[in-house]
Amino acid sequence: MRKIQFIFGIHNHQPEGNFDFVLEKSLKNGYRPFLETVFEYPQIKTTLHFSGSLLQYIEKKDPGLIDLIGKMIDRNQIELFTGGYYDPILSVIPEEDRIKQINKMNSKLKELFDYKAKGFWLSERVWEPSLVSTLSKMGVEYVALDDDHFKNAGNYEDELNGYFLTEDQGYPLKIFPINKKLRYLIPFHDVDETINFLHERASESAQSMYLMMDDGEKFGIWPGTHELVFQKGWVEMFFKRLIEESEWLRLTTFENYANEVPPRGRTYIPDSSYPEMMSWALPSRARTHYERLEKELKEKGDFERFSMFLKTGFWRTFLSKYTESNLMHKKMLHLRSKITKDMPEEITEKILESQANDAYWHGLFGGLYLPNLRAEVYKNLISVNKQIDEINHPGKDDFVEVEVKDYDVDGFDEIIINNRRLTVGVSPANGGRIFELSLKNKAINLMNNLTRRYEPYHEKMERAKTKEEGGYGNHLAKEKGLVKHLNYDWYERFSFLDHFLGEWSNLEKYARCRYPEQGDFTNQDYSYEILDSETGSIKLTREGHIWHGSLWVPLKLEKYIRLDEDGLLLKNVITNMSTHNIPIFYGCEYNINMVSDHSKDRYLYAGEFPKIDISQVGKVKATYFGLKSEYEGFDITLQPDREVEFWYFPVYTVSYSESGYEKLYQTTSVTPVYKFKSEPMSTFETEMKVKIEEF
């Protein structure tokens, strides 16, 4: 009789910084009912992986579920996988931290279940060959990768019915292919389709093996799946059919199969991840062209034949595609380099937590686009910074550090100004901008912003409708009128940005980034000078130009930044280097993240307006402009040296998630604007006090 072996596994994870109500709902609608169903069918063998932080949450909120897992381990029904505790992209963190992440996860499995896992779940299946030696040295015997990983190495579909061996520097590792067809069938198609798929691939040798291991969240947590898998009984029907077909369909585990069946051969997998991730990682222009090519090949019926020869993306490209992702990653590495062996372990623990992968990339799910996930990364990193300061500067309230280095690894120096209360990051080569303003006592980065970028899925958004309008699936919008928020920035949304506006500019055009920029200052290179390292004073200078009619007029802009007792002192000096009298319309933009745009305890204020809703677009003449969060406990006041007109507006991105197209608040833009006549060789000065109060 023709037979086949089948490994069924799931991976469970929730992002660091996810909301409590999401975790509670996931536990109630997904994790618990799934495991309870598995328990009712002792014949069903399952492989489980939980990220460490999710396991820690379940241990606290539902210890009975931990006991249930333990009972299934005792009756040899479940094999557990280890992994990085906080589900990091293992290849982009220091090897020492890889080891710490794995050891911490192993310790948790030992503590809860007295279990030593041999298998390893690779976060987002992001594979780089150098990981092999690290994992092998840690006692890992096998990992699960997508079948596309193997196809990238030249293996064909009909060869992927077992496992292979690979090695790095002589350290071996078994690698198992996850079948993509099974990933798509389970649980979204009729149970018979999965059974028929397996039956067609059975063999006389009984050594053929097919693996399905994918996100556990599609069993009850993804939209519509709770009804499908539990209320309509998909999981129970699936388990019953597996048991009914046990004469030819054998459920097994990684460990049992590896012990009983030899490898299919040796192979070497190139840098890769699952196909969707590799497409998402492409720069948007390349991704758009790739998706068009993919569509053309599918329409011709040629995609499956040629897909293994198509090169797509590489996870690390997210760090060049999104500056905001790179800044988090490089801040992690920057602080990591300052940790010494005699520092408390809790400092390293915060670093490990900041390495959780979800906030560093964006694809189908929100990821980087979700401000709360980025905020969690910064919360951990700023806490690390504060603890390091307390060790290096014990009892000092007035220390100042000024560090010049290529912080973000772009080939140009950045300046990091650090005192007891603040961290200020300045990028001379990118408009002399302030890219970080972190409040250490609150563990908040006020520059935790996101630039509005083109994403390929925006092209499909015009067909999206709300549920009330009949929208569904890939064409569902969470609210009406999303198109008006589809704006793209030609510069990145940080602070202390210099704009020279055309006379026909107005707030509406400016807010949509569709105004005429007359100068070459906003994102261009400034020279820098450290004026006084004891006060964190720096000077930034650019000799550029602005358009005046058909004249390209030379202009010099000098910018000064200095730490103050309760914030920052900023100064701009504009010098007309020409022989012309010219009108100037100048604005210096600040982008400050207020976390949310729809809560009563977060608001703006200025002049006669004590509270301005963050979702509002407007302008007001005043001698100050404030941004206050009673919830987080901070109050930022921009105090110019004269009455000015402030332009303000919220910055929204439009992204696509598993529940449809949605608008997300990313930051609040505030720009004091100045109009003046500039005579030849004359100067115009502005000063701004950025007062920061915490309570």
Q: Give the residue numbers marked as catalytic.
A: 124, 215
C-alpha–C-alpha distance, residues 580 and 679, integer Å: 7
Q: How far are the Cα atoms of 13, 27, 406 from residue 220, in angstroms, in the given order?
A: 13, 9, 46
Determine the Cα angle at 379 with ends 376 and 383, to 5°. 150
DSSP state of 597: S
C-alpha–C-alpha distance, residues 30 and 15, integer Å: 16
Residue 51 CA, distance from chain mean position: 17
Specify the pairing of strand 46-50 against strand 4-12.
Answer: parallel
Contact 573, 684 (CB under 8 A): yes
Q: Which residue has the tokens 């990591």?
A: 336
C-alpha–C-alpha distance, residues 476 and 463, integer Å: 9
- Please report the DSSP string for 562-628 in residue order: EEETTEEEEEEEEEE-SSS-EEEEEEEEEEE--S-SS-TTEEEEETTEEEE-TT--EEEEES-EEEE
Contact 507, 646 (CB under 8 A): no
- The number of CA neighbours under 13 Å toward the Cβ of 300 is 11
Enclosing H/E stretch for 35: helix 32-39
3-state secondary structure (DSSP) of residue 116: coil
Contact 498, 519 (CB under 8 A): yes
Residue ranges of alpha helices (H) inside 118-269 are 131-137, 147-152, 180-185, 191-200, 225-226, 234-244, 254-260
C-alpha–C-alpha distance, residues 332 and 201, integer Å: 47
DSSP state of 207: -
Q: Which residue has the tokens 């009455």?
A: 643
What the block records as the tokens of 66 is: 């931990």
